[in-house]
A and B are shown apart, each in its own frame.
Chain A
Amino acid sequence: MISRCSRGLSALSRHSCSLILRGLSTAAAASSEKSETSRINLCTAVNEALAITLENNKKALVFGEDVSFGGVFRCTADLLQRFGKERVFNTPLSEQGIVGFGIGAASLGCTPIAEIQFADYIYPAFDQIVNEASKYRYRSGGEFNCGGLTIRAPYGAVGHGGHYHSQSPEGFFTHVPGIKVVMPGGPADAKGLLLSAIQDPDPVIFFEPKMMYRTAVEEVPKGEYTIPLGKAQVKREGTDITLVGWGQQVAVLEKAAALSLEHHDISCEVIDLRTLLPWDVAAVGKHARVLNDAFAGVHRCTQTRRKRHSEVYYGLHSLCIKC
């Protein structure tokens, strides 16, 4: 049962899908005109979160390479026009500079939202993230912090991106105490999680699934709302196996779950972690224990984090598999 699932999942992972996600509720899907939602894609959802932040927080800054004209993915479109060049601006081409600058501005109370153009280029900033941002509060005994900093980076394969426009490097960061790592799985989550990330008192890295910028469209609440960090979401109920994923892979898992039920009569539960650090082990443990059977952590590119809470690990009768 488990091995059939894993073969099926890896086959699915090679498909590139055009994804229309479920709405937040059937009522919302039915009538977006009169409701408090609008049907938008992930890119627009991100843009809305940034605009709301710039509107309400005069110390918020949005910067990075090509941010002024709207960004290479259009996530920062119109922000310069609306909020001015002192707060929305291009930086020179240097990721270590972008993040270091953001740390410094945050340490004086700003809310800097730094864009790394592709997650594949985050590595020059690795020193600043790991040695500086994550330790700023701890090493100062709490006298200083750069918690206002948010780093946004588009991640993930789109099919034609090759080595350097496709990476999912979140694994490097989920082992760094002092930062948080967030990966939304759709537009509504992206907006709410990004607002939470920006408002979080610790530095957050926010990886945006670039494949979904245009292809993921759903009803997204208008105005400001937040989705708490550190909380997973059950996307699909199931009874035979729990599939845990994050980011653009969640939609793949949902499709796999549907196919598994249809073709193999296997009932899959799908959990979207949403926050990878700190991750919602309680939610996963609760569901895996309830199922008392199999548990699979799925991510396309990198190895699933192996640290497991003892509740999850020892409550299982079957092996964990990873894809």
Chain B
Amino acid sequence: MLGGPQSTTPPMSCYRTVDSTGTDIAGADVPYQIDHALATKMYSTMAALQIVDTVFYEAQRQGRFSFFMTSAGEEATAVGSAAALTIEDTVFTQYREHGVMMWRGYTIQQMAHQCYGNILGHGKGRQMPIHYGSKELNFHTISSPLATQLPHAVGAAYALKLEEKQACVAVYFGEGAASEGDFHAAVNFASTLSAPVLFICRNNGWAISTPSTEQYRGDGIAGRGPSYGIASIRVDGGDARAVYNATAEARKIAVANSCPVLIEAMSYRSGHHSTSDDSSRYRTADEMNRWRARDPVMRFQSLLLANDWWDPQQEKDLRLSLRKEVLKALEAAQKEPKAPLSDMFTDVYKEMPWHLREQLEEAMAHVKAHPEACPSDIPVR
């Protein structure tokens, strides 16, 4: 028999190019070199992500919007992988990958609008904060149910294959979501139907309060890939250069062969699950501090410093200007009106059917007769 609790087979090894301190690992394979411009863009994006996470989190705490999720500790996974994709590659995400969107050009202002649910925000204020999406930037709208995006990604990849596009789909998910049936369905479909999709798993050790030891017993998520006939790699998710290389190679394989590839990025969720969570209730400060010491952004900064591509003054200037930009974006978003009442009924179908028109008219009539029934910041039109 293979596998099981008595098995002595070691787990799949983990690809990395720098150690926890950010020092190069001698002999590490780095087929895709990162030049000055790319490194600076990657680092700046990760820094922006950190500042957005910090300030938006505080904004939620102050009651400026209802909810927020950070990606602290996973910046390298998001940005490192995004940097290896092209804008032609369609992206589906779970909820902790806004670094991917920011890499593509989703602005801090757009994120603020969506979190405030105002008229300019993606989704016309209908969804909770952090449910971003952008047709222009080729990433599909986030939905709260976990792993549902995985089979979507496979169907989308199949569509790309039919169009003979030199592109792939990248779909992100956590190790907890990988327990859902949709994960199994998606990887099985991707393999049997030969769909060019990158399955990028952020294994950050926690699914809210559930540690990964209670999530699975096999060899993580990467360990599952080969049993579906999928080429798989485990990578240090805190090593941006390793994630970049793994993704670039995976993309090359996927596009050339119209097949799926599975990447499991090992990292750590440094922040709470969301603003509705207090993770000190289920994990130790010691554990969190040990991981914070391996901050992926600092590890990548070491690469820039080692190449003389960065200095403390640039660091100071960048962080200051980003913080100003974030605060300005939040202020501007706060000033925008919410979407009008009628937007509650549009886009349910392409054309509004009679029964929704009837409900819209009833709602408008009710609000006109009872203005107090409608929140004062929702325009009645």
| A139/B143 in contact, CB under 8 A | yes
Instruction: Give the residues in chain A near B150, CB-CB below 8 Å.
Output: 100
Instruction: Give the residues in chain B near A112, CB-CB below 8 Å.
Output: 155
| A107/B186 in contact, CB under 8 A | no
* B69 shortest CB reach to chain A, Å: 17
Interface residues of B in 119-144 (CB under 8 A from A): 122-124, 126-127, 131, 133-135, 140-141, 143
In the bound complex, what is the Cα–Cα distance between A178 and B189 (angstroms)?
26
In the bound complex, what is the Cα–Cα distance between A145 and B131 (angstroms)?
16
| B156/A108 in contact, CB under 8 A | yes
- Chain A residue nearest in CB terms to B359: A177
Count of A residues near B, CB < 8 Å? 49
Instruction: Give the residues in chain A near B306, CB-CB below 8 Å.
Output: none
Partner-contacting stretch, out of A23-31, A87-95, A217-225, A253-261: A87-95
In the bound complex, what is the Cα–Cα distance between A273 and B162 (angstroms)?
37
In the bound complex, what is the Cα–Cα distance between A45 and B182 (angstroms)?
33
Q: Which of B90, B133, B156, B350 contacts A140 (CB 8 A)?
A: B133
Q: Is B14 interfacial (CB-CB < 8 Å)?
A: no
Q: Which of A86, A97, A136, A140 contacts B151 (CB 8 A)?
A: A97
Q: Mark B157-192, 1 if CB is under 8 A from A, else 0.
A: 111101000000000000000000110111011001
Q: Is A109 interfacial (CB-CB < 8 Å)?
A: yes
Instruction: Give the residues in chain B near A177, CB-CB below 8 Å.
Output: 348-349, 356
Contact A92/B192 with A139-B126, A139-B143, A144-B141 known, Cβ cut-off 8 Å: yes
- Chain A residue nearest in CB terms to B136: A143
| A100/B182 in contact, CB under 8 A | yes
Interface residues of A in 120-141 (CB under 8 A from B): 124, 127-128, 131-132, 135-141
Q: Is A83 interfacial (CB-CB < 8 Å)?
A: no
| B353/A230 in contact, CB under 8 A | yes
A101, A142, A178: residue with the most chain B Cβ atoms closer than 10 Å: A101
| A137/B151 in contact, CB under 8 A | no
Q: Is B335 interfacial (CB-CB < 8 Å)?
A: no
Range of interface residues on chain B?
35 or more
Contact A282/B356 with A139-B131, A143-B135 known, Cβ cut-off 8 Å: no
- Chain B residue nearest in CB terms to A201: B350
| A104/B148 in contact, CB under 8 A | no
In the bound complex, what is the Cα–Cα distance between A97 and B228 (angstroms)?
15
Q: Is B292 interfacial (CB-CB < 8 Å)?
A: no
| A147/B350 in contact, CB under 8 A | yes
Interface residues of B in 348-367 (CB under 8 A from A): 348-351, 353-356
Q: Is A110 interfacial (CB-CB < 8 Å)?
A: yes
| A135/B186 in contact, CB under 8 A | no
Q: Is B252 interfacial (CB-CB < 8 Å)?
A: no
* B68 shortest CB reach to chain A, Å: 18
Contact A144/B140 with A103-B151, A132-B145, A177-B348 known, Cβ cut-off 8 Å: yes
In the bound complex, what is the Cα–Cα distance between A141 and B123 (angstroms)?
4
Q: Which of B156, B184, B356 contacts A107 (CB 8 A)?
A: B156
- Chain A residue nearest in CB terms to B352: A278
A-B contact pairs, 15 of them (CB 8 A): A91-B193, A92-B188, A97-B188, A103-B151, A104-B153, A105-B155, A124-B181, A128-B148, A131-B145, A140-B123, A140-B133, A141-B123, A142-B347, A178-B348, A230-B353
Interface residues of chain A, those whose CB is within 8 Å of chain B, are 59, 61, 86-87, 89, 91-92, 94, 96-97, 99-110, 112, 124, 127-128, 131-132, 135-145, 147, 177-178, 180, 201-202, 230, 278, 281-282
Interface residues of chain B, those whose CB is within 8 Å of chain A, are 90, 92, 122-124, 126-127, 131, 133-135, 140-141, 143, 145, 148, 150-160, 162, 181-182, 184-186, 188-189, 192-193, 346-351, 353-356
